[in-house]
Amino acid sequence: MKVPAIITTFFVAIALFPVSATIINVPDDYPTIQEGIDASADGDTVLVADGQYYERISFYGKGILLTSEFIIDSDTLHIQNTIIDADTSEIGVVDTGSVVCFVNG
C-alpha cells in the first residue's frame, strides 16, 4: 500500500511544480543581457556569449543564473572574454565572478 501512495505523491508533486527552466542566449535570443534578464523567470539561465557588454544590469530579485559559455565546456577563457562593463563615472570596481567579469559596476 505504501508504494502506490509514494508514486501518487510523486506525480502530484510533478504536476504542481513543473520544471520549465529556459535557457536564454545573449545575443542570439536577445541583443542585451538586460533584455535577456527581463525576459527570464525564476530558474532560467541567461547564457552570455563571449564579448564585452556595455550596460548596467539588474536582476530585479529574480532567481536566475547569469553565466558565460564556461558552463558548457569549462574553458576558463570564456570567463576572461565575457565582460559586463557598467561604464559608470563612479570609482571602478572589477569583480571576476565564477563565470563572468564585471567592470565598473
Kindly state whether residue 13 falls inside one of the protein's structural domains: no
Residue 28, domain extent: 21-103
Residues 61/30, Cβ–Cβ less than 8 Å: no
Residues 51/84, Cβ–Cβ less than 8 Å: no
Kindly state whether residue 60 falls inside one of the protein's structural domains: yes
Hey, what's the cell of 81? 572574454
Kindly state whether residue 15 falls inside one of the protein's structural domains: no
pLDDT band at 94; cut points 50, 70, 90: low
Kindly state whether residue 16 falls inside one of the protein's structural domains: no
The per-residue pLDDT for 4 is: 62
pTM of the model: 0.70
Instruction: Label the pairing between strands 23-26 and 101-103.
Output: unpaired
- Please say if the pLDDT value at position 29 is more than 70: yes
Kindly state whether residue 27 falls inside one of the protein's structural domains: yes
Kindly state whether residue 84 falls inside one of the protein's structural domains: yes
Q: What total of structural domains would you count in the chain?
A: 1
